[in-house]
């Protein structure tokens, strides 16, 4: 979606044929295990009192981590010191930044080894692996961001082709193998039909456009 919005692909947003949404791939906010920030409220209080003090690592300008940081800034009225790295959790463990974001696969080993601490779930709901960690919304900041995984096609997809893939994906999510895959990956199954996906993506993308505008205006 970011590539479509930036115009860095040959295909335009309105030309995409949305086929399905399969799963939610949730993210969490992490800090070094020995960080003085033991809770999200600790971090937020420091960020409010000292603008640009809290350093945040992101993987790319305008990417998902940047959007998560920007949404907190917009809603909570704070300013972070945002820096792009190739892989921000590694920089966090090395002590170069105060806070980063990542999904379960990127963060769980560091959390288990007590190299990192989770302060918040970034989605509207808690991911299964971190079910005991409250969301930002539950902690008083009305912001959320979740990545969704699914499939789409190019322009000129026939209705028959859309129906074929829609039926195939509907069967897929009911299989034992897919459910095991989702559980192992800490994904939340969130199946949507082609029509449901199109409507969902339009609303989801409207928020991404707001994020992009905020990021552009606050370089």
Domains of the chain, each with CATH number or no CATH: 2-24+146-217 (3.40.190.150), 27-139 (3.40.190.10)
Q: What is the pLDDT of residue 86?
A: 67
Confidence (pTM): 0.86
d(CA 70, CA 91): 19
- Does residue 27 contact residue 101 with C-beta atoms inside 8 Å? yes
Cβ atoms 194, 19 nearer than 8 A: yes
**Bridge partners, 27 (sequence order):** 103
Backbone angles phi, psi at 111, to 5 degrees: -70, -45
Confidence at residue 121, expressed as pLDDT on a 0 to 100 scale: 97
Q: What is the pLDDT of residues 8-66, one digit of tens each?
A: 677 777 888 999 999 999 999 999 999 999 999 999 999 999 999 999 999 888 888 99
């Amino acid at each position: 979606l970011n590539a479509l919005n930036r115009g860095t692909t040959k295909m335009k947003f309105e030309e995409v044929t949305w086929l399905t949404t399969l799963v939610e791939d949730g993210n969490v906010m992490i800090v070094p295990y020995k960080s003085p920030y033991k809770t999200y409220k600790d971090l937020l209080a420091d960020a409010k009192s000292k603008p640009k003090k809290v350093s945040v690592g992101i993987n790319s300008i305008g990417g998902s981590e940047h959007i998560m940081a920007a949404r907190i800034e917009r809603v909570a009225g704070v300013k972070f010191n945002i820096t792009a790295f190739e892989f921000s959790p590694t920089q966090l463990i090395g002590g170069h930044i105060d806070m980063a974001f990542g999904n379960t696969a990127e963060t769980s080993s560091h959390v288990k080894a007590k190299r990192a601490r989770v302060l918040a779930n970034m989605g509207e709901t808690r991911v299964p692996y971190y079910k005991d960690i409250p969301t930002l919304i539950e902690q008083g900041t009305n912001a959320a961001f979740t990545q969704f995984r699914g499939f789409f096609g190019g322009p000129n997809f026939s209705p028959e082709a859309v129906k074929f893939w829609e039926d195939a994906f509907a069967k897929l999510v009911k299989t034992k193998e897919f459910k095991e895959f989702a559980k192992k990956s800490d994904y939340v199954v969130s199946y949507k039909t082609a029509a449901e996906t199109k409507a969902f993506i339009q609303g989801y993308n409207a928020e991404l456009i707001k994020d992009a505008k905020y990021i552009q205006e606050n370089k």
